[in-house]
Amino acid sequence: MPAGGDSAHSAAPPPGGGTDGRGVPRVPPPGPRPTGTSGPDERPGRAAARRARRSRKKPKPRWRRTLVWASGGLALLIVGVAAAGFLYIWYLNSNIDKEPLNLSDNQLERSQPNAAGQVPLNILLLGSDSRTGEENQSLGGGSEGGQRADVQMLLHASADRSNISVISVPRDTMVTIPECTDPDTGEVYPELQKERINAALGHGGPGCVVATWELLTGIPIDHFMMIDFAGVVDMADAVGGVPVCVTANVDDPDSHLRLEAGTTVVEGEQALAWLRTRHAFEYGGDVPRTRAQQIYLSNMVEQLQAGTSLTNPGRLMDLAEAATNALTVDNALGSVQDLYDLGTDLRSVPNERVNMVTMPSLPDPDNPEITLVPDPERSEEIFSLVRDDIPLDDPDAEPPAASESEEPTEEPAAEPDPAAEISVSVRNGTGTDVLLPVNGRATALTEELRRLGFALASTDATTFSSSAETTVLYPEAADQANARAVAEALGVPEGALRVSPQVSQITLIIGADWREGLAYPEDAAAGGGESADPGTGGEDDPPPVPEDMVSGRANDDCMEVNPAYTW
């Protein structure tokens, strides 16, 4: 269109232009216009002035061109999603494998809401060495004896979503694996009193790992998410790599980790090598490897929060496909919408309040050079913080107040029934992963209750519960006064009362914190005895912040390199 003209109303072709074969006027090539031959309605000198202004214009800044490109790309993405979104979401959902949450018959009570109605969330994160599929097989390192969960982390999101605590357990930790039933074949795997924790995955699937963790920690688990080796590689690529740091040039021929000293952004198989190496860090073994995994996860979260992957449509789709292809989750978390809702729920937690710690352990007396066992005192301190919804970086904080829904809804000052009319069932829950249950414990407390006037007290010999802490369960709010009467008679604190629709009567579960005596121990009632820190000590001291905690406040941790694996 000639500048300044209304070509729609001009029938004459431009001078010298003629028409093409379809009758369309030809536009002459640009060039200096002879004097006096300006286009229709154009005053002489006007075109020259416009050309001069154009020559003085600066090029558009790069950010404007990028903004225009991004806006156009986003509009195209929105149109595409509107047209084919349902099919794509269905495709992503079909990628996700789903399994039952818990394969054991003995499951813990769910976490109770706080006074504001908020509920903490516990998710078990697993990394599997599965060798199913060509890509997984090409990565090597798996055994023919079935898949194992070499990475295990319990993520606890506080009820108010102000902080996240992550507990790792090294794969060579010896634990009790409870009896589990394979949901696909119906095969029953018997209980193993002492076995590596990573072997639980081969006993029916991730639901047996959940059962093992609940038995070990006394923490109820709401969901699990498992990713295989190939998924680690694909997600590292999709997120654009994860920065990690080593103190020296490192070369581990077994895991194929080879990095220069300092910070490196690892992708693909180098990301997998970082997570798998057992020799390169410090003096080898599972404890430093677990710490390296925590640093990797913390830095990966920071990469995602930075938004690099989430603002690039192509990379976002790669990440979505990599994640769903590699994921196995519990049935309640089995769709893209469920995962999106979970991510939205956790997104508000500031990265500096994400704290990670490895479960304290001791050398296994039966095989001290190879395997570990949980440190019963120090590990219980950490498990107790999570059960009470207390952050790892503020262990002297008060536990959140219980939900008002747990209080009696009728008369707040309801009087309990006479002791002789209160039915109480007593269970022995004194066994833990490292301690056998105390024989006859439930019978002894049943007899003590009868001596105190609770004539209907009985021993539940058919059900065994493993509980780190003593609790008094009652089926509904109307039974709370009677449950409180039972607790007060034995000296059990108010905080041990729990409403549980899974019990039909008041049930006393004797925990590992009460392995002897007929009265609940005073130090347990006070919330713990002496501090594990030999330099402090004393009943009034708060539990110490774990020394090896990895915090989101500082993700520049550098792994010390084993001198035998440098170059």
In Å, what is the CA distance from 560 to each residue of 153, 215, 438, 564? Answer: 22, 33, 43, 12
**200: Cβ contacts below 8 Å, ≥ 6 apart:** 149, 175, 177, 180, 208, 209, 211, 212
Q: H or E segment at 448? A: helix 441-451
Q: What is the pLDDT of residues 339-393, one digit of tens each?
A: 778 877 887 788 788 888 889 888 988 898 889 998 887 888 898 899 889 998 8
Q: What is the pLDDT of residues 531-566, one digit of tens each?
A: 333 333 333 444 455 555 655 544 457 889 988 999
Q: Point out the least confidently predicted range of 21-30, 235-244, 470-479.
A: 21-30
Q: CATH 3.40.630.190 in the chain, residues?
A: 97-387
Please give the share of the chain, as a percent, with pLDDT higher than 90.
26
**179: Cβ contacts below 8 Å, ≥ 6 apart:** 104, 105, 188, 189, 190, 191
DSSP state, residue 430: -
pLDDT of residue 409 exceeding 80, the answer is no
Q: What confidence score (pLDDT) does residue 411 get?
A: 45
pLDDT of residue 467 exceeding 80, the answer is no
Which residue is listed with tokens 């993520």? Answer: 155
DSSP state, residue 115: T
Pick the CATH number of 97-387 from 3.40.50.2300, 3.40.630.190, 3.40.50.720, 1.10.10.10: 3.40.630.190
Q: What confidence score (pLDDT) does residue 190 get?
A: 94
**175: Cβ contacts below 8 Å, ≥ 6 apart:** 194, 195, 196, 197, 200, 212, 215, 216, 374, 433
Q: What confidence score (pLDDT) does residue 42 get?
A: 45
Q: What confidence score (pLDDT) does residue 7 get?
A: 42
Q: CATH 3.30.70.2390 in the chain, residues?
A: 408-525
Q: What is the pLDDT of residues 413-454, one digit of tens each?
A: 568 889 999 999 999 988 776 677 888 999 999 999 999 999
> Minimal CA–CA distance to 168: which of 223, 216, 230, 120?
216
Most confident range (mean pLDDT) of 248-262, 279-293, 398-412, 449-463 is 248-262
**23: Cβ contacts below 8 Å, ≥ 6 apart:** none
Q: Are 369 and 286 in contact (CB under 8 A)?
A: no
> Minimal CA–CA distance to 168: which of 201, 197, 191?
197
Which residue is listed with tokens 């490196």? Answer: 264
Phi then psi dihedrals of residue 374, to 5 deg: -60, 140
Most confident range (mean pLDDT) of 22-26, 36-40, 248-252 is 248-252
pLDDT of residue 495 exceeding 50, the answer is yes
Using CA atoms, how far apart are residues 301 and 352, in angstroms rounded to an integer?
11
Q: Are 559 and 244 in contact (CB under 8 A)?
A: yes
More confident residue, 5 or 520: 520
Identity (one letter) of the amino acid at 317? M
- 408-525 folds as Alpha-Beta Plaits (3.30.70)
Q: What is the pLDDT of residues 120-129, one digit of tens each?
A: 999 998 888 7
Stretch 181-203: mean pLDDT, rounded? 92
Instruction: Mark residue 376 as left, alpha or beta (left: phi above 0; alpha: psi -120 to 50; beta: remaining).
Output: alpha
Computed over every residue of the chain, the mean pLDDT equals 75
Stretch 66-90: mean pLDDT, rounded? 45
Using CA atoms, how far apart are residues 235 and 322, in angstroms rounded to an integer?
6
Number of H helices, E strands in the chain: 13, 23
Distance between start and end Cα atoms, the chain? 68
Please give the share of the chain, as a percent, with pLDDT higher than 70.
67
Beta strand residue intervals within 384-505, DSSP E: 424-428, 457-459, 471-474, 497-499
Please count the other Cβ atoms lying within 10 Å of the Cβ belonging to residue 445.
24
Q: Helix (H, G, I), strand (E, B), or coil: what is residue 468?
A: coil
